[in-house]
Structure 1
Amino acid sequence: MDTLLEKKTEVTERLKRREVERLAELQKRKQEKENNISTLEGTKYFIENFNKEKSDILLALEQVDTRPKNEMVTELDRISERIQGLQKFHADSTMFLPSYDVRQSQETLGNLHTLIQEKRDKLFPKKKFAFSSKKKTVKQDENKKEEEVKTNASKNEDQNVQLADCTIQKKSKECVEMSEAAMEKKDVSLFDNSFCTIKLFGAPSTVHMKNLTDCIVITGPVSSSIFISDCKNCTFVIACQQLRTHSTTKCKFYLHVTSRAIIEDCSELEFAPYSLSYSKLDDHFVTAGLDKSKNNWHDVDDFNWLAHDVHSPNWNIMSEEKREQFKF
């Protein structure tokens, strides 16, 4: 009798376990289905909004030519901000996007950056050398306007530096590292630092650097732009969508840039390919939405050098024997 009761109890327990396992499997399948639906909906939402904003940006670029000359620069700056906003939207969405959509949207962003730069070059071409019969006063007026533009640009950059989300300033002879969580998708500024090693292992949105002397700055992939000004005797190990460098001398660049590097009022700069490696670097490239396979480190545009058939004396490619590797 006891044996029969034990067998019955055993069968009952086994049936209960099977029922629990069956319900758990059903719940698992339901959750997977919901996750798949959520991913599909998220992908659909991204593609629809990304494509709509892309179309709006392309339309705005086409219409820039119809605006008065004095409004064109402002409109181009506004379009650049929209492209940066689209870049952030892309970076925020990469975690659930299929790899194909990530690659396609990265290519689209690269094309948009190229198109707006081409539009700027078309509307505001570099001045070429030519004999002119204009009076000296006209040239003076032009020079004055150019100086005003540079002054305003410098003021705007100073303001961007001051308003950044994360800041490292007035450090000397220190090794400073900003945490990934603190700066991810945020604006970072480094200014008035000397003889420092500064490490930014993460994926910030934008990085501004000003008044750095004898510093080594190492960054992970930056979603949009890096702006450098008034720096001397520094080494920059940086990756970004766009690099703009002003009033900087005797600096080395280990660079990954997906558009092109722009320098102005600079001298004695050396460029080499990005040579940084650390454990989460590939993840940060994805987070930043930066194309790791596209690097134009050697395509440097010097705004102070007008001769297209002669290399600018203000920068050169670093010889291979001088190049360093940065591993952490």
Structure 2
Amino acid sequence: MATENAEVQAAAAEMLERKHAERLERLALINKNRLEGSSIRKSQAADSSDPRESVDVFLAAFGQKREVVEKGLASALANEVEPTHIKRHLDDLALEVGALEKLVADASYFLPAYDVRSSQTTILKLKDDLESASSQLLPKKKFSFRNKAAKKVPAPSIEEKPTTLETGQVKPNGLQDTPQPVPADSPAASLPEINNRERIQGKENMVFVRDADVLGAELTLSNLNKCKVYLRGRLTTLYIDSLRNCQIFVGPVTGSVFIENVENSTLVLASHQIRIHSTKSTDFYVRVRSRPIVEYTTKNRFAPYAFSYLGIEEDLRAANLAEETGLWEKVDDFRWLRAVPSPNWTSVPLKERIHVEDGSIVTDAVSSYIVAIISQTEAARRHAFKLHS
């Protein structure tokens, strides 16, 4: 009897051991299949992904281009470049800086915010260094935007008395007086000298029209209220800061547009990259090569680009912005990390979108009825915001 029990127990132990071995074998097979599947998926992902969409690849390329510019500046300042070739040398370095800007703009949709800000800071420093080197090594040469000659235009009949524009006085019949010389101590004479980084700032109830004559131009718009600005031609970089109740129409920007502290305005922009910070109740009509980025914003709306002027098609092609990308409605809110859409922006409803603005014939010599139209348009848009909020 004892022998039979021992045989039964031995058989049971052998069966358990066999089942345990089979279980371990199955687990080993599952793990092997999992590892093989993971390796295949990684290989497929590597084969199908864009090799440019890599932070490491971007940083390596950015570092190489930055080193080229830094070495080029160092050789120029050390008088290692022939005087007859120095202008071309600096022009080549400016093109390299432009290539850096495009590199950042194209990669901004997958780069971490820190890398984007760090790269932009580096580019700004390189630009300052290049400008400093140019001022030391080249003869002084003004870099300007062209103001269209003031034309006499009749103003529609309105009850409000036209106000004074910087270009002269508006007569009761709507005609523009010939601009008179401005005293040196007057506010208009205190405008900064036009150079590589022109500024339009500290103005109210005015219309500005600028045509970029030279590639590589940078422009800053700051501290404007109830102004309308037309920027025709190609810019490299545009800085917008502290605008209230304004309408801004901009041709293609080959680099980036940086926007800060704007309220109750309409901005029409075409650029490789658009970054918006601390802005509210503003409509953006954009064409952009990367997703627009917003931070600390609220009640902003987006729609497709809506600006035209004679020659804009050629400018857009030259800036690689000829085609609509559809990215105007794919906004990245860096302060909204939830899975649901950000409440800080929305699309402009079709019936509320502006028509394409034709900037071909406008000039600085525009009477104040245009400013009145701006105010009416902004009031209607703010009313629409209240209805939607």
The TM-score, its normalising length taken from structure 2, stands at 0.47
Give a deviation string over 1:222-248, Cα, whole Å, max 9, x none: 101100001111100110000000001
- Structure 2 unaligned residues grouped into runs of 5+: 1-51, 71-93, 129-191, 360-389
Look up the equivalent residue of 2:210 and give its one-letter code: M
Aligned to 1:17: none
1:200 and 1:178 map into 2 onto residues whose CA distance is 5
Give a deviation string over 1:64-118, Cα, whole Å, max 9, x none: 49xxxxxxxx969969x99x95584699xxxxxxxxxxxxxxxxx68x7444542
**Matched residue of 2:203: which SS?**
coil
The alpha-carbon deviation at position 61 of structure 1 amounts to 3.7
Structure-to-structure mapping, 1:37-52, within 5 angstroms: none
The alpha-carbon deviation at position 298 of structure 1 amounts to 0.5
Pick one of 189, 199, 203 that aligns with 1:171.
Answer: 203
**Matched residue of 1:270: which SS?**
strand
Q: Does the C-alpha gap of structure 1 residues 59 and 221 become closer, same or farther in structure 2, counting only changes over 3 Å? A: same
1:195 and 1:120 map into 2 onto residues whose CA distance is 36
1:268 aligns with 2:299: yes
Look up the equivalent residue of 1:170 and give its one-letter code: G
The alpha-carbon deviation at position 210 of structure 1 amounts to 0.3
1:262 and 1:315 map into 2 onto residues whose CA distance is 11
Aligned to 1:221: 252
The TM-score, its normalising length taken from structure 1, stands at 0.55
**Matched residue of 2:57: which SS?**
helix
Aligned to 1:279: 310
Structure-to-structure mapping, 1:201-216, within 5 angstroms: 201-216=232-247
1:251 aligns with 2:295: no
Q: Does the C-alpha gap of structure 1 residues 114 and 78 become closer, same or farther in structure 2, counting only changes over 3 Å? A: same
Look up the equivalent residue of 1:202 and give its one-letter code: G
Larger gyration radius, structure 1 or structure 2: 2
Q: Does the C-alpha gap of structure 1 residues 62 and 234 become closer, same or farther in structure 2, counting only changes over 3 Å? A: same
Q: Does the C-alpha gap of structure 1 residues 61 and 270 become closer, same or farther in structure 2, counting only changes over 3 Å? A: same
Aligned to 1:298: 329
Pick one of 345, 350, 360 that aligns with 1:315.
Answer: 345
1:259 and 1:167 map into 2 onto residues whose CA distance is 26
Matched positions, count: 213
Over the matched positions of the two proteins, sequence identity in percent amounts to: 26
1:206 and 1:244 map into 2 onto residues whose CA distance is 12
Structure-to-structure mapping, 1:14-93, within 5 angstroms: 61-62=56-57, 64=59, 85=95, 88=98
**Matched residue of 1:266: which SS?**
coil
Aligned to 1:193: 224
1:297 and 1:202 map into 2 onto residues whose CA distance is 21
2:65 and 2:261 map into 1 onto residues whose CA distance is 23
Q: Give the conservation status (yes or no) of the 8 Å contact 2:65–2:96.
A: no
Give a deviation string over 1:143-201, Cα, whole Å, max 9, x none: xxxxxx99xx8xx89x99x99611111111000111231x6421111001111001101
**Matched residue of 1:230: which SS?**
strand
1:327 and 1:218 map into 2 onto residues whose CA distance is 10
**Matched residue of 1:286: which SS?**
helix
